[in-house]
Amino acid sequence: MDYKESAYFKIGRASDLTGFDRVLYRLLEVLPGFLSWFTILGTIIFSLYAPIATAYFIIAFDIYWLLKTVYLSLHLRYNWKRIKYNISLDWKEMLSKLKHEHIIHLVVLPFYKENYNVVDSRISGLLNTDYNKKRMAIVLAYEERAGEEAKKIAESISTKYKSEFVHFLVTEHPKDIPGEMPGKGSNITFAAEMARKNILDKNNINYNDVIVSVFDIDTIAYPKYFLCLTWNFLTAPNPFKTSFQPVPFYNNNIWNVPTISRVVAGSSTFWQMMQQERPEKLSTFSSHSLSFKALYEIGYWQKNMVSEDSRIFWNLYMAHDGDYTVVPISYPVSMDANFAPSIFQTAKNIYKQHRRWAWGVENIPYMLFGFIKNKKIAFWKKTRVAIVQIEGFWSLATNPLMIFLLGWLPIILGGDHFNQSILSYNLPIVTRNIMMIAMTGLILSAMIFISFLPPRPKERGFLSKIFMVLQWILIPITITIFGAFPGLDAQTRLMFGKYLGFWVTPKYRKG
């Protein structure tokens, strides 16, 4: 049986299976959390019973982290230069040398309970892009469970903008459909199928000529985004086996959000920039684009899970026996940084959003299970991909804790014998010096962050720009509280079968 037609292709969790397969998948769900907790608890236990060996391990780990930081900083710098270069390019001129008039951009915009101004500003943002709007079709996808207000907003937006684009479709995703998880995946899958029937088939549009872009409702495409995307699609070696990933800049409201939100938003952007330079680690995330042909052939996004944005890549990867890739286009889209009426609520929302992102760990058991079932992918390729992906989630949950918290445990738990040794005296000095060297990379981070900021509002004084630089000293705190903790939280929940549902990040506007 073809893998795409098998019962395993759209699996969401172990409970979807029976017999030995269910047991196997459950063990694979346990694996990421087990590895992270083994590292953390192992460090604590060995600090108590083998403090000397643990101290050497911590020093070695610190050196590894320093080298990794340098390695990632180089990737960040390269991508920073690449993005600036791509923004400066005349994509229209480049595209004029290619046959491109047949390409249709289908933009899917799901929303839940966002207000009229949020939705309106995103549609108007599409009008400001430098692309022929008569080659753009918009699907505004709202949820029935959001109530009458969402329906009124969608209808009002449609009335205002439908004449601006070649097609404008409003879809209402029905609630309580058996087998579906309420959330983005089920909504955009319904919307894509409605678009196929009511736009593509109705107007005899070839699926091969359609590029689908899924944008969160807070996403604003930079002016040349669709030109850049079209060029990358037409020049890709196999565009029907390729997804296209922009860089999300969380800077729509960056001047209005609290400091912790700015630092976390900047860190999230930097991580995506570094991933663009490491395509072997890259999967689709949040706003992404791909061929409608490829999307239709696998039945769209999964409707029974949280991380549909990254799972669509793994669906396609498995369906094409490993012959599927993500092209990092190194061109930005802008999104909102987390913002709520109070600092406490903002911090809570940041944590929940990052836990949802970290819930992408649910792709690890899917990937490993698929590798076991799919015999057509080379063993070496499976091994390399598995190690890269597992290491990424392990690092997220453990590295900040190891560096900033657990590195002092041999001194605390090692006892008098260890504390009288030269190693005990040198451990905090070595650890501190390595961390200080690594933290010099924050200067680069501050420079990059400032370079991509939108214009400073008139009501903001010059000191606010200085604070934008100084805020990066909070990195050790933010990557631990809003990186390691939600990462470990997600892995622990998956390990014990306490599955997350989809949580929609509230979009709050000041004033």
pTM attached to this predicted model? 0.92
The domain segmentation of the chain, as residue ranges, is: 1-102+206-511
Please tell me the distance from the alpha carbon of residue 94 to that of residue 89, in angstroms, as a whole number. Answer: 9
The pLDDT value recorded for residue 1 is 40
Please tell me the distance from the alpha carbon of residue 456 to that of residue 472, in angstroms, as a whole number. Answer: 18
Question: Which H or E element spans position 173?
Answer: strand 167-173
Residue type, 161: Y
SS3 409: helix
The pLDDT value recorded for residue 509 is 63
For residues 126-138, one letter each, b for 16 or more C-beta atoms within 10 angstroms of the residue's C-beta and e for the rest, the string is beebebebebbbb
CA–CA distances in Å: residue 219 to residues 164, 247, 249, 311, 368: 19, 11, 9, 20, 32
The pLDDT value recorded for residue 6 is 64
The pLDDT value recorded for residue 510 is 61
Please tell me the distance from the alpha carbon of residue 190 to that of residue 192, in angstroms, as a whole number. Answer: 6
The pLDDT value recorded for residue 55 is 84
For the chain, the farthest-separated pair of C-alpha atoms sits apart, in whole angstroms, at 81
pLDDT profile of the chain (511 residues), mean per 10: 64 92 97 96 88 86 86 92 96 95 96 91 92 96 94 95 96 91 92 97 97 94 96 97 96 90 92 89 91 96 91 95 95 93 93 95 96 93 95 93 77 71 74 76 82 82 77 88 96 96 75 49
The pLDDT value recorded for residue 39 is 93
Please tell me the distance from the alpha carbon of residue 54 to that of residue 59, in angstroms, as a whole number. Answer: 9
Q: Which residue has the tokens 């047949």?
A: 102
Q: What is the DSSP letter of 196?
A: I
Instruction: Provide the strand spans (E) within 261-339.
Output: 288-291, 325-334
> Long-range contacts of range 21-26, CB-CB < 8 Å, 24 or more positions apart?
21/369, 24/369, 24/372, 25/365, 25/369, 26/497
For residue 66, what are its two tokens? 């320093």
Alpha helices (H) in 90-242, listed in sequence order: 91-95, 116-127, 148-161, 184-195, 225-235
The pLDDT value recorded for residue 174 is 95
Using only the alpha carbons of the chain, give its radius of gyration: 24
Residue type, 313: F
Q: Is 346 exposed, middle or buried (0-12, 13-18, 19+ CB in 10 A)?
A: buried
Please tell me the distance from the alpha carbon of residue 299 to that of residue 53, in angstroms, as a whole number. Answer: 52
